[in-house]
Amino acid sequence: MIWNRLDDLNQIESIQKESKKAPVVIFKHSARCPVSAMAFNELERSWRQENHPDVEPYYLDVIQNRLISEGVAEEWNVMHQSPQIIIIHNQECIYDASHSEIDYSEIDRIIKSAHQM
């Protein structure tokens, strides 16, 4: 999985624009949290780029980029959590999950469903 680092507040506007073309995935991660590490590793092992070649995945380190994490929560009206997966499509959050609710098969289903919208 090739991650785009989300480390600038201006990227939120770019993500909004990108989401008009294809879903955008944001993974909020805390390097201090073992649950976050497990969720990240599971996502890395499960993700198949060939299934979603047009989807841009973003990685947000919530420890280093707290302000950006808060900006994401505010922009898409989701509670700040870590680990957390957020899927943006047509400028709206169409899915978010955190901790043990992060499930690749559900992420895959949501992305496929977004393509049909």
Domain boundaries, the chain: 4-115
Crossing angle (nearest 10°) for helices 34-46 and 104-115: 50
pLDDT for 1 equals 76
Claim: this prediction has a pTM higher than 0.85? yes
Can you tell me the distance from the alpha carbon of 113 to that of 106, in angstroms, rounded to the nearest whole number? 10
Correct CATH for 4-115 of 3.40.30.10, 3.30.479.30, 3.60.15.10, 3.30.1860.10: 3.40.30.10
Mean pLDDT of 47-74: 91
Q: Give percent of the chain with pLDDT exceeding 90.
A: 68
Secondary structure in 3-state letters for 18-53: HCCCCCEEEEEECCCCHHHHHHHHHHHHHCCHHHCC
Per residue in 89-117, pLDDT tens?
A: 999 999 999 988 989 989 999 998 887 77
Average pLDDT of 38-49?
89
| HSE toward the beta carbon, residue 64, CA cutoff 13 A | 10
